[in-house]
């Protein structure tokens, strides 16, 4: 993906994490945190690691987003270092996406309701409902 430009890639051995700062070109106002995590995971081949988006900053007047990500080997260590509020927000977002995916799957698995033949629909359109005759006023 050429849309991601790496600004810094620091291995913080003291905190046992990798700190990535990247620019996302052309995605100003359109990029969500979980989408950014997916893009970074694919770009840097971070499968099996915990990627936490710390900050997504949009730039005024530019379609550019700068993101700061922390990459941990161990989820328990990430939960120890990162503010619990950030972790809970990410969990809520992931749960909402999973719920939407489950609802979509359930919708696909339901048996489709038989539709009326199209001929009857056309006939109904051709024969409009007749209006009751209007009463004439006699004086």
Per-residue pLDDT of the chain (139 residues; tens, 9 = 90+): 448 899 999 999 999 999 999 999 988 888 899 999 999 999 999 998 999 999 999 999 999 999 999 999 999 999 999 999 999 998 998 898 888 888 888 888 775 655 555 655 555 555 555 566 666 667 6
Taking a C-beta distance cutoff of 8 angstroms, is the pair 25, 64 a contact? yes
Query: Does the reported pTM lie above 0.85?
Result: no
DSSP three-state, residue 55: strand
* Angle made by CA atoms 94, 92, 30, in degrees to the nearest 5: 65
User: CATH top-level class for 4-109?
Assistant: alpha beta
Taking a C-beta distance cutoff of 8 angstroms, is the pair 17, 52 a contact? no
Please give the structure tokens belonging to residue 15. 């905190």
Q: Is the alpha carbon torsion for 120, 125, 126, 129 positive or negative?
A: positive
* Distance in angstroms (rounded) separating the CA atoms of residues 89 and 107: 27
């Amino acid at each position: 993906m050429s849309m991601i430009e790496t600004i810094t890639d620091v291995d913080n051995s003291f905190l046992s994490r990798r700190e990535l700062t990247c620019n996302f070109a052309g995605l100003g106002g359109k990029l969500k945190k979980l989408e950014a995590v997916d893009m970074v995971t694919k770009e840097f081949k971070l499968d099996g690691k915990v990627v936490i988006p710390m900050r997504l900053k949009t730039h005024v007047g530019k379609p550019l987003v700068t993101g700061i990500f922390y990459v941990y080997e161990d989820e328990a260590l990430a939960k120890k270092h990162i503010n619990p509020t950030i972790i809970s927000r990410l969990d809520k977002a992931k749960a909402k996406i999973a719920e939407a995916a489950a609802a979509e799957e359930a919708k696909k698995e339901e048996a489709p309701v038989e539709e009326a033949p199209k001929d009857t629909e056309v006939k109904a359109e051709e024969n409009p409902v007749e209006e009751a005759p209007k009463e004439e006023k006699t004086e």
